[in-house]
Amino acid sequence: MRKSLSKIFFLGLLLTTLFVTSCKSKKIITDASKSKAISSGSIKERYAYLLNVKEKELDNEKLYRFIDSWIGVPHRSGGMDRKGVDCSGFTFLLEKEVYDKDLPRTARTMADKVKRKYEQDLEEGDLVFFDFDGQKFSHVGVYLHNNKFVHASTSKGVIISDLKDPWYYKYFTRAGSVKP
């Protein structure tokens, strides 16, 4: 147990050092579920590495540019700008800007606007929903690849997480593509 805590502390210290010492022109993207970070290379190179896919599998460069510009923006309930954004605000903005799709503003009402899919059938851009604190569809994110999704976390702001992370997975309740 003590050894695991030291590894976690060291990894956190390493990531903090990377973040603090990187120049402003290089954005560090992080997979919060495994603390996998990268700060150099093209958008496609960085996200392919993070999502563990080949670059050619990332067709929608507009999506990853959008995500890249929002990574690290803090959470703010009701927020819809780079000073702070909540999960449904981030999803609303992403779907509008990247896919030109209009969605309602709350996660709960967004859940009614998706064509449900099984987890194994999820594709880039699909929505994933979670029930936190006993509230149905209280959190939403956007699926990427290999069980990774981007969302606005209340504690870490806009991040990429793993759907199979035990903490998220136990609250995962619905997924699907936005209806036309």
- Positions annotated as catalytic residues are 87, 139, 151
Contact 125, 142 (CB under 8 A): yes
What is the rounded distance in angstroms from the CA atom of residue 80 to the CA atom of residue 4? Answer: 38
The SS3 assignment for 19 reads: helix
DSSP codes of every residue in 41-107? S-HHHHHHHHHTS-GGG---HHHHHHHHHHTTPPB-TT-EETTEE-HHHHHHHHHHHHH-----SSH
